[in-house]
Amino acid sequence: MSVNRRTFLQGAGGAVALALAQGALSKIAYAQGASGTLRVAIAKPAGNLDPQSHYAIWAIQDLMFEPLVKYGKGGQIEPCLATDWKIEDGGKTLHLTLRQGVMFQDGTKFDAAACKWNLERWMGLDQFSWMNCSKHFQSLDVVDDYHITLHFKDPVLALMQELSYTRPTRFLSPKSVGADGKFKEPVGTGPWVQVSADDSQSVFEHFDGYWGDKPTYERLEAKVIPDARSRVAALRSGEIDLIGGFWIAPLTPEEGKQLEAAGVNVVVDPGNVTLVMAFNPDRAEALKDPQVRKAVSIGIDRAAISKVLYHGYAKPAGNMFSGALPYAGTQYDPPVRDAAAASALLEKAGWTGSPIRSKNGKPLTLELVVSPDAVPGSRVIAEVIQSEMKEIGIDLVIRSVDHASKHTDMLEQKYDLGFFLTYGAPYDPFGSIVGLCLSTFHNDVEGKLVTDPVNLDPLINAATAATGDQIQPTIQKVYDWLRDNDAIAPLVYVPSIWAHSKRIQGFTSPVTEYDMPYENIVLAE
């Protein structure tokens, strides 16, 4: 069954009840005496944990640093260090009420002064202008110890969503920087305190002074295990308790099935990231013709990819974003493979002959660039698509590159066809729409999924300027343009896969791929 926004929200009631029950269980267990260690695998060392830098594992920062608001299920914005907020002046003024009784882990009080100090570390600075709330920041007023007001030059799109990000928005103790103002040690208001860190592991203990519900176990160890097979073996042997998460310690669908067969608990969430195929008509002349792009798209068997390569964990995609995200637009069924229709489109476009079609003496050859390092399993998916393209007369050449080269090639448009992953919650839909599709936005990492300064940019700019009830209809025009022009080919909604030992009870997948799923867990000793 596909999971759309409606079914997702219908399920939310049960999820809330479950969460409440788990919360009650957690409190009971804690009241009886917290103990035990949760052992989580991470694929690489945690790195520089400065919340205003961009090097650390997000989920490790999530253990210590908290935001003003949290991104909840279905995109609901929930209180965290801010308990209330009001947006006025057409979206240009934000009034915040701060939570009282919150302390940083070094004993420093969290109040308006600490909030101001943190916000001024990144708001209004050029290096953070990729966030609208920083780009449009004008000034900040401290009203009293627990109220501040932010002023913006222009209305900020998805303002509260941006304030829920893992970085640079999370709060650091003003005493945890050196005399030069630079980050010195990771001290936040969150439930976990880092007690040691090196290239083999990061160790945390829970913060006794935490304002919220405390974990039911005393210690969390994030063990560095770079090799995927070694991580799976460590889980099966009982060395670790938890693996998974796209940015923490990825688990492939095949590994998930192997663990299921071995009796290990595997949890699969529909996720909110989409695998999308990009067309590059600037390099491949044939792809300027929308009939060729459509032929490629309907020549791909998404259901087979989902069933065989993702072992049934993934859902075929008919849209850029799944209905699990807010403002995801009208949800269409995924295209069904139709080789005859694809061949007819190519004939109509003037590409004829066999086994490989040609036009004006030039064969229909396209290069697909993949990076299994960046997108696990992409080489196998490419080989399946290669076989399907051959059946309709397209010679598909696969070029595999490493993670670094993938970014370089995408930035320099050295591909005809390529795989992109959307950013997922809490960044989407606007993060990917702006970052991957707006020609005037400088994206120095992933490159562009599709751009069209004349036709697409005005639609995106209108969507990002819309407020209130106008957001949905204006962003729908972006989705309609992408669909009407066969500008991209969404393939599958990438599932979130986790596996855990029997020591763990109450596990639930995190709301975003950037969070650590430590909440609600009770350890059975």
- 37-42/219-224 β-pairing: parallel
Looking at residue 29, its pLDDT comes to 38
Residue 506 within any structural domain of the chain: no
Q: Which DSSP state fits 319?
A: S
Contact (CB, 8 A) for 286 and 366: yes
Apex 382 CA angle, 384 and 331, nearest 5: 85
Q: Residue 368 falls within a domain, yes or no?
A: yes
pLDDT for res 525: 67
Cα dihedral 135, 145, 193, 198 sign: positive
- pLDDT of 22 reads 37
Helices and strands in the chain, H and E counts: 15, 21
Q: What 8-state DSSP symbol labels residue 285?
A: G
Q: State yes or no: cis peptide before 326, omega within 30 of 0.
A: no
Q: What is the mean pLDDT of each run of 10 residues along the chain (525 residues)?
A: 27 31 36 68 93 89 96 92 95 96 97 97 91 94 98 92 94 95 95 96 96 93 94 95 91 92 93 94 96 98 90 94 94 96 98 96 96 81 95 97 83 92 93 93 84 96 88 96 98 94 92 91 85
Got the DSSP string for 86-116? EEEGGGTEEEEEEPSS-B-TTSPBPSHHHHH
Q: Is residue 282 part of a domain?
A: yes
Both tokens assigned to 451: 């751009």
Sort 204 into a burial class: Cβ within 10 Å, 0-12 / 13-18 / 19+.
buried
Residue 215, domain member (yes or no): no
3-state secondary structure of 478: helix
**Beta-carbon count within 10 A of 282 CB:** 11
Q: Backbone phi, then psi, for 395, in 5-degree steps?
A: -90, 105
List the CATH number of the domain containing 295: 3.10.105.10
The pLDDT of residue 316: 96
Dist. CA 414–CA 450, nearest whole Å: 14
Element (H, E) at 493: strand 488-500
Whole-angstrom distance, CA of residue 109 vs CA of residue 198: 29
With respect to residue 467, please indicate whether it lies within any of the assigned structural domains.
yes
For residue 299, the model assigns a pLDDT of 98
Separation CA 375–CA 411 (nearest Å): 16
Q: Are 36 and 525 in contact (CB under 8 A)?
A: yes
Question: Does residue 320 lie within any of the structural domains?
Answer: yes
Angle in degrees, CA 224, 230, 231, rounded to 5: 60
- Provide the number of structural domains found in the chain: 1
**Is 466 a member of any domain?**
yes
In a domain, 435, yes or no: yes
In 3D space, the residue among 409, 408, 405 whose CA is nearest the CA of residue 280 turns out to be: 409
Measured CA to CA in angstroms, residue 315 lies from 251, 310, 485, 493 at distances of 17, 9, 23, 5
The helix or strand, by DSSP H or E, that contains position 19, with its residue range, turns out to be: helix 5-31
Residue pair 501/259 in contact by the 8 Å Cβ criterion? no
SS3 301: coil
Cis preceding linkage at 226, omega within 30: no
Quote the pLDDT of residue 35. 61
What span, in angstroms and rounded, lies between the C-alpha atoms of 308 and 483? 26
Residue 292, domain extent: 271-496
Q: Which amino acid is at 366?
A: L
CA pair distance 247, 233, nearest whole angstrom: 19
For 477, the token pair is: 């025009």
